[in-house]
Chain A
Amino acid sequence: MQVRKNNYTVNMTPTMQVLTENQIEAIYYAALAVLSETGVRVYDKEGWDLAHQGGAVVEDVQADSALVKMPSWMVDKARATLPQRIRVIGTPDGDGKRKYNMDLYKNTMYFGTGSDTPFTIDPYTQVRRRATYKDVRNLAKLAEALPNVDFFMSLGITQDTAVGTYDRWQYLAMLEATNKPINITAVDIEGLKDQLEMAYIRLGGKEEWKKAPCFSLYNEPVSPLSHSEEVIQKLLFCADNDIPIVYTPCPLAGATAPATLAGLMVQALTESLFGIVLSQLRKPGCQVIIGGLMSAMDMQTAVYPYGSPEMALLSAGYTEITKWMRVPEYETAGCSDAKCFDEQACMEAAINISTAAMIGGNMIHDIGYIEQGLCSSPHMLVASDEIISRTKRILRGIPVNADTQALDVLDQVGPGGHFLGHDHTYNRFKTENWRSALTDRQVYADWETSGCKDYQQRVQERMVEILEADAAPLLEPKMYQELRRICELADARHKDEELDVQMFV
């Protein structure tokens, strides 16, 4: 579902503001200055040549990299062809219809998971262990069933498959269990090509992809201010093949970015702007989504916090910049630093999800992450779905008009009466009030009779219910075999790179 923040006749959606327009402009122009005066280091010759042809100054050319400085007009020019709206539509159901539509432009909002965690929490034993193919499929099944999860990323690395080609296996596991749009990761350009091939097969041809792609690619420049060969090559490939590309740095204040949050934002924007310019030089109209995962290093543990207030705040502030720029964006929420699905996990997810929703980012990812993105939690995914739903209720706001003020009803009931049996209550309570089967509001005695279940238990039950529900397979056996074959061929090509010891016991 999408929530438009411009509902009703005037905008009555509750909103939040982090930056003023003047501050946004200050950050934007500072980023232009960094891009043209400090420059960025590019570790790909094709990349720096392309920038050079487009008007950039290329200095300090080394064997592996060059310093690229882009005059600000290059950004202006790139922005003129940069799409303001991008659509990613999921894969077709049995009836051939692609029903999950992600329409990204200013003020639309979609939530999705994070990807590539080495660890996961077992849905039954609740023990933390290495993630497997089956976990990814299970988590995708949960995402498919949860109404507030709009897109999926592989909530776990498949570690019972070949290591060097895990990206294809992950994609297969996801396709087995969800038709929602996917934001994929790729171990390299070859992994990206294989997954594109798989997508063509799944969609029934390249033409269908052209109508709307069914995945975007997650791609991260290296903070501070560096763009690796891998990242540039992926960007160019995406431009050539009409793959929407999420070009999102992960700066960490005090470690890979200035300690001040504004400094980090300037840096992150510089990194994204470089990607925007290069993409448009390669192919005007190339679909780029910029954004972020941004945080400040925890100076006691040295970790990259995913549940901190700074993370939520930076994500929100950056979203405002992207709205001002009219570029589709990527945000972070639904994630935590907790080691298990506990009160901290819920608290952090509740706060960062509601912050993200109040700002209204386009693609809000990392739902289901705990342990700083190193572990996925099916419980967190289910709980976050509820938190999103709750937040969407708040976003619906309080419409105030003659109808909703209900003066006629007030007049009919008058002083001292009640509204319980009134038609107005009967007609309105369902749409006015949010409720959820997971949240408990029983009186104590009833709660006791129903088994004294706390939130964790209720989430556990709901999760198992979804996992065990019968679901018709999304892939025909023949299609599954065709897709699987691509994974196996990749394994065969890369067999020699694997270790001869079992990596994950």
Chain B
Amino acid sequence: MSEILVQLSEAIIDGNVEDIVDLTEEALDDGIPAQEVLNKGLMAGMDHVGAEFKAGNMFVPEVLRSAKAMQASMDLLRPILAEAGVKHTGKLLLGTVKGDLHDIGKNLVGMMAEGAGFEVKDLGKDITPDQFVSAIKEYQPDVIGMSALLTTTMRVMGHTIKALEEAGLRDRVKVIVGGAPVTQEFANQIGADGYAPNAASAAELARKLVS
């Protein structure tokens, strides 16, 4: 493998936000196709980060720095990939549901998903079913992720899925749910496509659902 791809994946692992843009340009100038830069450079690095995080050798702020480096490089690659007709990993639309103001877990899911190559649109917190519906129309996501940390607001996840059905959008998106009191059983009850107990597995789940 070319030296520059190794350097790129190292820059991802080190969270080297400063040099990643130059390295990405250099790789493209060397004639390496954008897709290869993504898969063999960036994603190779992120896979390593993911494994190290799971093993307890890397920590949240380090993973987020890597994800940030990944995003900086993706900003360059995205238009080229789009032009070449390469399908991106996917678009994830995120929000904490209406009535709920807990957002740190949702933010973390968003950052981890970016690290996994997703284009993430975060609607914020206190999001109504209607807001989800219109955002789906506007952004055309592949996956929507809803977060709730209250038993009272968990109900809104069910209401939102209903609203998607009523708007005829349910088949167009995969729905994933999470948050501390949410469980797999609850996800099944309301007809979500998936549940994950933490941010890393949320990103993995989203990736599985779009592949």
B62-108 residues with Cβ-Cβ distance < 8 A to A are: 101, 104-105, 108
The smallest beta-carbon distance between A307 and chain B, in angstroms, is 16
Q: Which of B60, B151, B181 contacts A302 (CB 8 A)?
A: B60
Q: Which of A166, A252, A255, A502 contacts B152 (CB 8 A)?
A: A166
A170-187 residues with Cβ-Cβ distance < 8 A to B are: 187
Chain A window 244-258, contacts with chain B (Cβ cutoff 8 Å), 1 for yes, 0 for no: 000000001011100
Contact A301 B198 (CB under 8 A): yes
Contact B61 A254 (CB under 8 A): yes
Contact A505 B189 (CB under 8 A): yes
B180 within 8 A of A: yes
> Number of residues in B with C-beta < 8 Å to the partner?
22
Contact A503 B60 (CB under 8 A): no
- Cα of A497 to Cα of B155 in the assembled complex, Å: 8
Chain B window 42-71, contacts with chain A (Cβ cutoff 8 Å), 1 for yes, 0 for no: 000000000000001001110000000000
Contact B152 A118 (CB under 8 A): no
Chain A window 145-167, contacts with chain B (Cβ cutoff 8 Å), 1 for yes, 0 for no: 00000000000010100011010
The smallest beta-carbon distance between B41 and chain A, in angstroms, is 26
Q: What residue of chain A has the Cβ atom nearest to residue B63's Cβ?
A: A299
A254-B61, A299-B61, A302-B108 given; A501·B56 CB < 8 A: no
> Number of residues in A with C-beta < 8 Å to the partner?
29
Contact A302 B199 (CB under 8 A): yes
- Cα of A297 to Cα of B159 in the assembled complex, Å: 32
A228 within 8 A of B: yes
Q: What residue of chain B has the Cβ atom nearest to residue A372's Cβ?
A: B180
Chain B window 192-205, contacts with chain A (Cβ cutoff 8 Å), 1 for yes, 0 for no: 00000011000000
B190 within 8 A of A: yes
A50 within 8 A of B: no
Q: Which of B60, B155, B185 contacts A163 (CB 8 A)?
A: B155
Contact A163 B189 (CB under 8 A): no
A99-158 residues with Cβ-Cβ distance < 8 A to B are: 118-119, 157
B177 within 8 A of A: no
The smallest beta-carbon distance between A231 and chain B, in angstroms, is 9
B154 within 8 A of A: yes
Q: Which of B104, B185, B189 contacts A252 (CB 8 A)?
A: B104
Residues of B near A163 (CB, < 8 A) are: 151-152, 154-155
Chain B window 163-200, contacts with chain A (Cβ cutoff 8 Å), 1 for yes, 0 for no: 00000000000000000110001100110000000110
A458-497 residues with Cβ-Cβ distance < 8 A to B are: 497
Chain A window 281-307, contacts with chain B (Cβ cutoff 8 Å), 1 for yes, 0 for no: 000000000000000010111100000
Contact B198 A503 (CB under 8 A): no
- Cα of A302 to Cα of B186 in the assembled complex, Å: 22
Residues of B near A499 (CB, < 8 A) are: 155, 158-159, 190
Contact A300 B59 (CB under 8 A): yes
Contact A222 B152 (CB under 8 A): no
- Cα of A501 to Cα of B188 in the assembled complex, Å: 11
Q: Which of A159, A228, A299 has the most CB of B within 10 A?
A: A299
A302-B108, A499-B158, A505-B189 given; A118·B151 CB < 8 A: yes
A256-B104, A501-B189 given; A300·B56 CB < 8 A: yes
A118-B180, A374-B181 given; A300·B60 CB < 8 A: yes
Contact B155 A498 (CB under 8 A): yes
Contact A374 B180 (CB under 8 A): yes
- Cα of A258 to Cα of B154 in the assembled complex, Å: 29
- Cα of A505 to Cα of B186 in the assembled complex, Å: 8
Residues of B near A502 (CB, < 8 A) are: 189
The smallest beta-carbon distance between A308 and chain B, in angstroms, is 15
Q: What residue of chain A has the Cβ atom nearest to residue B56's Cβ?
A: A300
A287-338 residues with Cβ-Cβ distance < 8 A to B are: 297, 299-302
Residues of A near B155 (CB, < 8 A) are: 163-164, 497-499, 503
Residues of A near B108 (CB, < 8 A) are: 302
The smallest beta-carbon distance between B167 and chain A, in angstroms, is 18
Contact B60 A299 (CB under 8 A): yes
Residues of B near A222 (CB, < 8 A) are: 101
- Cα of A164 to Cα of B152 in the assembled complex, Å: 5
Q: What residue of chain B has the Cβ atom nearest to residue A501's Cβ?
A: B189
The smallest beta-carbon distance between B176 and chain A, in angstroms, is 17
Residues of A near B199 (CB, < 8 A) are: 302
Residues of B near A118 (CB, < 8 A) are: 151, 180-181
- Cα of A391 to Cα of B93 in the assembled complex, Å: 50
- Cα of A166 to Cα of B153 in the assembled complex, Å: 12
Q: Which of A157, A254, A503 has the most CB of B within 10 A?
A: A503
Residues of B near A498 (CB, < 8 A) are: 155
Q: Which of B101, B159, B189 has the most CB of A within 10 A?
A: B101
Q: What residue of chain B has the Cβ atom nearest to residue A499's Cβ?
A: B158
Q: Which of A166, A297, A301, A505 contacts B151 (CB 8 A)?
A: A166
- Cα of A163 to Cα of B61 in the assembled complex, Å: 36
- Cα of A222 to Cα of B99 in the assembled complex, Å: 13
- Cα of A252 to Cα of B103 in the assembled complex, Å: 12
Residues of A near B60 (CB, < 8 A) are: 254, 297, 299-300, 302
Residues of A near B198 (CB, < 8 A) are: 301-302
Residues of B near A301 (CB, < 8 A) are: 198
A374-B181, A501-B158 given; A159·B151 CB < 8 A: yes
Contact B185 A505 (CB under 8 A): yes
- Cα of A297 to Cα of B60 in the assembled complex, Å: 9
A212-262 residues with Cβ-Cβ distance < 8 A to B are: 222, 228, 252, 254-256
- Cα of A450 to Cα of B190 in the assembled complex, Å: 51
Residues of A near B154 (CB, < 8 A) are: 163, 503
- Cα of A281 to Cα of B8 in the assembled complex, Å: 57
Task: Name B residues whose Cβ lies closer than 8 Å to a Cβ of A.
Answer: 56, 59-61, 101, 104-105, 108, 151-152, 154-155, 158-159, 180-181, 185-186, 189-190, 198-199
Across the A-B interface, the 7 shortest Cβ-Cβ residue pairs: A118-B181, A299-B59, A499-B158, A299-B60, A501-B189, A255-B104, A499-B155
Please list 12 pairs of residues, one from A and one from B, whose beta carbons are closer than 8 Å in the complex, sorted by A's number: A118-B151, A119-B181, A163-B155, A222-B101, A297-B60, A300-B56, A300-B59, A374-B181, A497-B155, A503-B151, A503-B186, A503-B189
User: Given A164-B152, A228-B101, A301-B198, 17 more contacts at CB 8 Å?
Assistant: A118-B151, A163-B155, A187-B152, A222-B101, A254-B60, A254-B61, A256-B104, A297-B60, A300-B60, A302-B108, A302-B198, A372-B180, A501-B158, A501-B190, A503-B151, A503-B154, A505-B189
